[in-house]
């Protein structure tokens, strides 16, 4: 029989958490992960020469105080591709 204590309290060190989440290395890591996902998603979509890539990696600058990035559909072709094939979800593992 396992005895589990209920009501365990944790006191988080907020300044330390903020310091970790605002490290430049973390921002770089998040950006690189988003770029890998976008690259993998773009590889599966046929585009014409000179046409914009349908998926774009972006930094979420409004997500202060933490590092965040996203991959968005940039074109109608990308939106259609993502709707039909779930392309972004399929390529999430590229960001690991």
Written as tens digits, the pLDDT of the chain (96 aa) is: 666 677 778 888 999 988 888 888 998 999 999 999 999 999 988 888 888 999 999 988 776 677 889 999 999 999 999 999 999 999 999 999
For the whole prediction, is pTM greater than 0.75? yes
Within 13 Å, how many C-alpha atoms sit on residue 42's CB side? Answer: 20
Distance between CA atoms of 53 and 95, rounded to whole angstroms?
A: 18
- Rg of the chain taking only CA atoms, in angstroms: 19
């Amino acid at each position: 029989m396992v005895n589990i204590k209920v009501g365990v309290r944790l006191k988080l060190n907020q300044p330390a958490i903020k310091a970790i989440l605002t490290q430049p290395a973390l921002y770089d890591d998040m950006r690189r992960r988003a770029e890998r996902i976008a690259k993998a998603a773009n590889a599966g979509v046929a585009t014409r020469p000179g046409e914009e890539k349908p998926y774009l990696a972006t930094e979420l600058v409004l997500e202060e105080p933490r590092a965040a990035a996203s991959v968005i559909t940039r074109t109608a072709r990308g939106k259609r591709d993502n709707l039909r094939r779930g392309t972004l979800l399929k390529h999430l593992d590229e960001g690991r």
